[in-house]
Amino acid sequence: MLGRMELTGTVKAIIYRSEDTGFTVLELTNEAGEDMTAIGEMPLAGVGERVELTGQWTEHKTYGRQFRAETCKTLAPATLTALKNYLASGLIKGVGESTAQAIVQTFGMETLDVLEKEPARLAEVPGIGQIRAQTIGASYGAQLGLRDIMLGLQKYGVTIGQAMKLYKIYGELCLAKIEENPYRLIDDVEGIGFKTADAIARNGGVEPDAPYRLRAGLKYTLQWARQEGHTYLPREKLVEVAAGLLQAEIAPVERTLTELLLEGQLIQEQLPGEDGIFLPGMFRTEQDCALRLLRLQGQSALDNPFFQPKAQIARLEQQLDITLAPAQRQAVELALKAGALVITGGPGTGKTTILRFVITLLEEMGTEYALCAPTGRAAKRMGEATGRDASTIHRLLEYSYGEGGFGRNAENTLLADVVIVDEMSMVDVPLMAALLRALAPGTRLIMVGDSDQLPSVGPGNVLRDMVDSGQIPVVRLTEIFRQSGRSAIVTNAHRINEGQMPILEGLEDFGFEPMEEQEAVIRRLIALNSGKAAKLGAQEPLQDIQVLAPMKKGPLGVYNLNKRLQEALNPPAHKKKERKYGDVVFREGDKVMQIKNDYRLAWTRSLPHQPPEMGEGVYNGDLGTIMSIDLYEQTLEVLFDDGRSAVYSFSMLEELELAYCISIHKSQGSEFPIVLLPLLGGPPMLLNRNLLYTAVTRARHMVYILGRQSCVQQMVRNNQVKRRYSGLARFLCRQKELLP
């Protein structure tokens, strides 16, 4: 690959163009008369036009040498032939080859001026009457209008892709809509949030204290809070954060908030010690969760004369040669009769044993049940642990991306008597609400998880709120069983959870390497991931080892560690193709993670001596390797750890992240053979006991910490968790008072 260059030529043909993104593949002839291929976002380039490109030369394995354009400036056709080809390209309605030839013969190089300024003169061309002249002039004017709009949008800092979206929605009114209220783009245009709309507004000269800017800023702050896991914000905090974001005075922000509350666009609810401000949708969703959970509680076991839980449990204990602990027996018994039940406990406390008992007894009674978990990896683990089919909650509820909703809902409920959910700590409020709405009257809900894990990535704190409310039956598992007790990972996890320092020396499956310098930690992480990991027992380091980081930013944050590990483990090479997406470079051979559930993405799996298996669905948390990148087709192929292969278009790259290192939050619901954990220091709110506990419990065979013992100690001592503003516990208590 050569450096940045300039290329000028005349467009010979448009091979491909995406109407959504403006991505174009075109053939052009340079000024030396040589034909070549150029690719890039060039929505306005037309046949016959001269273009001025800047970019780089690339080599495609199938299509050969191509110029990848980063910028494209269109120029007027420079010759009569180019002018004729431009008119005949199909760009202008009513102009074909012969008509284009006749127009150019009549007006010569003045043709474009005539089309723009005096279209009526087209009637001077033999074969063109007044009506046809008007049609041709209007079509050319529309093309000029599109170009003017595109150029006009550039002053607002709008990208080509955004400009194409805007034009599709608003048409010729694009500029007028933006000038009227740029913040309307947040609601009207997918992919444009407050920051983009605000940048457009400021580029357009919108005043900092404009009323519609303050209103948009307040709503955005609550949307940002939702992304941070909150379902509401205290009034004072909302005003403070919004004023800081907007760089505005407190008083006008407060006045604007009052207006939004009076209009019903936001909701204020009195909560213990504070007034909480909700987006209306989130308020209704959290209240709905509370009411439906309490209704579940009033349900009991199915009317079955053979239902004898104590006797059935005792018989199964004898049959399986397993003696349940009292808390386990209580959990199994309640699971068979309670309308709603939470079973919570740390690693090694027997949650899987309880599930196996419950499932076996349900099957003996002929009870229909469904097993599910929030993520694909968690569902896979649940299925392996129970020996039964388990799905994601989204798949169970038949989520449709095309329709943007769940196929299973209050009108089309699940065909199950009991639904069992694992990894409940990962379930957020919107997903919980969707699940509860899909339960038919009489269906019971068993929820299993570890309330000491990090809360869900999405908004709410469902598991913790249910436990803290005292309104939902809860069985707490605290006893560590013999087999698990031999694991230092399990032992240390419980020590951490109880505020005790983990044992760091003399253990086979829990290691600690003291280090003081950030660069030394990075070099050691690279060495361990490079195959120099015999002491860790890694057969295939890239698959077996997972680096987890407490933070995203900083030298030992996810972003930098991914960059450094990528540079060392998969450096650029002449034969390795790559694609930049935002600040990330995806390269053939990279380790990547799927970061959202995509039920539509097709995959294939090839097994020896078997026909290829085909299916759909790639899930949040799935890990894989980039096998190939096709710059011409604009696609990228990922081979996942379980043998599935999926092809992504470049427009889908937002679904992928580099995964040499992932955040501890992103690791929830997953297990890895070996976990490497760099710990040197960081913000106190991030370095807490909860985070360390979650990281340690992600490892199946080995935890290896690199850093300072004092940092580990700091995390164990710091039991302060960043507060998550959620109202479910309060609503559960309040709704209890309202129920008959």
Q: Which of 168, 134, 138, 137 is nearest to 150 (CA)?
A: 168
Burial of 14 (C-beta count, 10 Å sphere; 0-12/13-18/19+): middle
Helix, strand, coil percentages in the chain from 3-state DSSP, rounded to 5: 40, 25, 35
Q: What is the mean pLDDT of each run of 10 residues along the chain (740 residues)?
A: 74 78 84 87 78 84 81 76 75 79 88 84 86 82 67 64 71 75 75 77 78 89 91 96 91 95 95 92 95 83 62 87 90 91 92 93 92 87 92 88 79 94 94 96 94 87 94 91 71 92 90 94 92 65 89 93 95 89 91 85 82 81 91 88 89 92 88 93 85 92 94 91 89 75
What pLDDT was estimated at residue 110?
87
Is 445 within 8 Å of 471 (Cβ atoms)?
Answer: no
What pLDDT was estimated at residue 555?
93
d(CA 91, CA 95): 8
8-state DSSP, 365: T
What pLDDT was estimated at residue 1?
43
d(CA 724, CA 653): 30
Is 521 within 8 Å of 515 (Cβ atoms)?
Answer: yes
Q: Going by DSSP bridges, is the β-strand pair 50-60/5-17 parallel, antiparallel, or unpaired? A: antiparallel
What pLDDT was estimated at residue 100?
85
Q: Going by DSSP bridges, is the β-strand pair 644-649/598-605 parallel, antiparallel, or unpaired? A: antiparallel
Give me the count of residues in the chain: 740
d(CA 435, CA 430): 9
What pLDDT was estimated at residue 160?
63
What pLDDT was estimated at residue 715?
93
d(CA 683, CA 711): 11
Q: Which of 374, 385, 369, 546 is nearest to 463 (CA)?
A: 374
The widest CA-to-CA distance across the chain, in whole angstroms, is 101
d(CA 132, CA 150): 27
Q: Which of 121, 120, 93, 94 is nearest to 107 (CA)?
A: 121
Residue reference for tokens 């805007």? 166
